[in-house]
Amino acid sequence: MVLTRSEVSECMQSELEPEPLVDDHCDSRNGDGPVERSREQAKQWKKERKLQAQQKKQGTVTSSNEAANATTKPGSGKKSREMPFEIQLSKALAYMLRHGAQKEFLAIRSDGYILVDSLLARPKIQKIQKVQQQGPQSPSVADVRSVVESSDKKRFELVNGSDTEPKAAGDRLWIRAAQGHSLGEVTDLDMVQLTPSNIDQYLAKENGTHYAIHGTDNEAWTKILESQALKKMQRNHIHLARGLPGSEGVISGMRKSCTRMIYIDMDRVIADGISVEMSSNGVILTAGKQGELPLSYVTNVRDSQGQVVWP
């Protein structure tokens, strides 16, 4: 599946906060991942590189953070905040691993792994420049490791393997996104299947019911009400969190900026034969019924202060 620019722009909405990437969601689309630079952005970056070259010629050196490229909000011409090198790299990795492997002519396995060397060779990665004493440099394996290790949401996984097989004997480095894919080829992510017999290990209870939470905003909640269902949209799954941000054991699943918390009765979901899985970074994933999870499974919806606003 290859996303259009408008679809990828939707996928990026939840990645605009300046964190090491993507993957938490505050709308029913559940998406993130960077898009191609706009013409305005490319011009801005060209000006900055020219300025950096002049500074270097004059004997001044700009630090990596000071020389961070200005970027624009995907899908618009509005200038956003400056993005440090690490954020740009994290977003590019997320896009390519979750949504853009085909478009970038990358071989992605059914388990989501891609060779790190193959990623680093792509123009989308090479054009991300880190200013060093010896001049601008494209990302390295060490930079990828740094992004993976610093991700508080544990969005990526790195393993050593052979030329053709991750986790096999060898020194080739492979990487994948833990969840958040829209690529149809990615079907085997080593998820934990939730069942009535193991759900106690992974989900908390409220009023005797195991629950998971979908975080969204007011506008998206209005659309969910109109359609009477949560939808996976272009993603492979609907994304749910095991609890509220900051709760014990909750690594990923929703942003702190979400204003509507949709509580879902996971006992009923599983009892009705709907597949529910948990990713390696603790995000609860379900494709629902034909891509939708009806509101009949929702017990209540709360605002950011914890007050029930529905039903």
Q: Which of 75, 69, 63 is nearest to 15 (CA)?
A: 75
- For residues 87 and 220, membership in a common domain is answered with no
Number of domains in the chain: 2
Confidence class for position 134, pLDDT limits 50, 70, 90: confident
Q: Tell whether the model's pLDDT for residue 43 goes beyond 60.
A: no
Query: What 3-state DSSP class applies to 71?
Result: strand
For the stretch 55-103, pLDDT in tens is: 555 544 433 333 333 333 333 333 334 789 999 999 999 999 999 999 9
- CA torsion angle 104 115 153 230 (round to 10): 50
Q: Give pLDDT, residue 76.
A: 36
Helix (H) or strand (E) holding 51: helix 39-57
Q: Give pLDDT, residue 257.
A: 84
Find the mean pLDDT for residues 190-208. 95
CATH number at residue 45: 1.10.10.970
- For residues 115 and 138, membership in a common domain is answered with yes
CB 242 within 8 A of CB 282: yes
| The most confident of 78-87, 130-139, 282-291, by mean pLDDT | 282-291
- The residues pairing with 205 across neighbouring beta strands, listed in sequence order, are 210
The pTM of the full predicted model, rounded to 2 decimals, is: 0.69
The last residue of one of the domains, among 177, 200, 226, is 177
Written as six digits, the tokens of 186 are 């990615």
Range of the domain at 125: 5-177
Written as six digits, the tokens of 28 are 């029913």
Selected residue with higher pLDDT from 245 and 136: 136
User: Is 200 a domain residue?
Assistant: yes
Find the mean pLDDT for residues 145-159. 92
Integer angstrom CA distances of residue 201 from 27, 204, 263, 277, 295: 27, 8, 18, 13, 25
CB 209 within 8 A of CB 267: yes
Written as six digits, the tokens of 25 are 């969601």
Written as six digits, the tokens of 133 are 């004493």
Q: Tell whether the model's pLDDT for residue 289 goes beyond 80.
A: yes
